[in-house]
Amino acid sequence: MTTISLKVEFSGGLELLFSNQRSHAVTIPSTDPATSKPTDLQNLIFYLRDNLLKERVELFVETDTVRPGILVLVNDTDWELEGEGDYVLKDNDEIVFISTLHGG
């Protein structure tokens, strides 16, 4: 099974849900075993929810995407310009999740 390696970062308070650790090295299969399609950002969100998230899932995921108020960046670009959950992940991509819901 081929895999891809990603750098995943959480900030803006979101790191508290992930062992209070901001930066994580993540290795996931390059294709989704259920659909045999290339792994996309939505697969990654589910993977993070099922494998890395330590508490309070509702603060990270809502139905099939991140909770409103969480910004996602793909290699420093707003994921809204990259197709959001449909973005197909590449080896060495850097994905950043930032909560905007915490303190001013």
Q: Which residues bind other proteins (CB under 8 A)?
A: 11-13, 16, 67-69, 71, 73, 76-78, 80-83, 87, 96, 98-104
Q: Distance (Å, rounded) from C-alpha 69 to C-alpha 48?
A: 18
Nearer to other proteins, 35 or 83 (CB): 83
Give the CA count within 13 Å in the CB-facing half-sphere of 28.
27
Shortest distance in whole angstroms from residue 80 CB to other proteins: 4
Residue with tokens 């409103």: 68
Shortest distance in whole angstroms from residue 58 CB to other proteins: 10
Shortest distance in whole angstroms from residue 1 CB to other proteins: 26
Nearer to other proteins, 3 or 100 (CB): 100
DSSP 41: H
Q: What share of the chain is helix, strand, coil (3-state, %, to 5)?
A: 25, 35, 40
